Every structure is written in structure tokens, then in C-alpha cells.
Amino acid sequence: MKILITAQGDFVAPRFDLTAEVVIATVESGVLAGKPRTIIMDRPSPEDLSNLIMEEGISMVICGGIEDRQYQFLTWKKIRVIDFVIGDHESALNRVLAGELQSGDMLPLTRGDLSL
């Protein structure tokens, strides 16, 4: 299974449509298979990002805010979308591997000493 996380630096990008950087992780039998790879896109574009998701055969997308149109498109394509996640993408990935990540989750690193 492949998981894509929209990223902005160390964090889950606040918006799907403004994302220019994604982290793709491959999971086999519930554990990470290798180091997640980062892809920098030419420009932020929800269409390009959706195409990338299709081409890469992604099964799950973890992102921040996403417009309903794009959300419906991805779920229609049978891709699970965990949206409105706030926090660093490494924690998000760990949580999803533990089966504990849900839409709207705010991860521990979000508050306090946040440096952007």
C-alpha cells in the first residue's frame, strides 16, 4: 500500500491545492518498506497532484484542508483520504501505521514550540 502525505517542510501542508511537496511511503504488512521519498512538484496544482496520486497508485492520502470537489474525486477513485490533519508528517505517518490517525487529528507537536 502506498501512502501520500502533502507536506510543507516538516508539517502536513495546510491545503491540498497549494501543496508543492509530497512524501510517499510504501507500507508492506503494516510496516514501512524503505525510507519515504519526497517529490517536489513544479508548481502547486490540485489537478497535477491528483494525477500524481493516480499515476503512483496511491491508496491513502493524508492532507490538511481539501475542497469537497477534490475530496469527492479521490474517494470516488477509492482512495482513502484522511484530511484536516494538523501536525508534522512523520508523526502522522507513525499514527497511521498504528491505525490511529483520523480526519481532523491534531498531533502533539502542533502546539507549543512550533518553529516554521
Minimum distance of another protein from residue 69's CB (angstroms): 8
Reduced to 3 DSSP states, what percent helix, strand and coil does the chain have, rounded to the nearest 5?
25, 30, 45
64 and 83 Cβ atoms separated by less than 8 Å: yes
Here's the x/- map for another protein, 70-109, by CB under 8 A: it reads as -x---xx-x----xx-x---------------x-xxx---
Q: What is the largest CA-CA distance in the chain?
A: 38
Q: Which residues bind another protein (CB under 8 A)?
A: 8-9, 11, 14-15, 17-18, 64-68, 71, 75-76, 78, 83-84, 86, 102, 104-106, 110-112, 114, 116
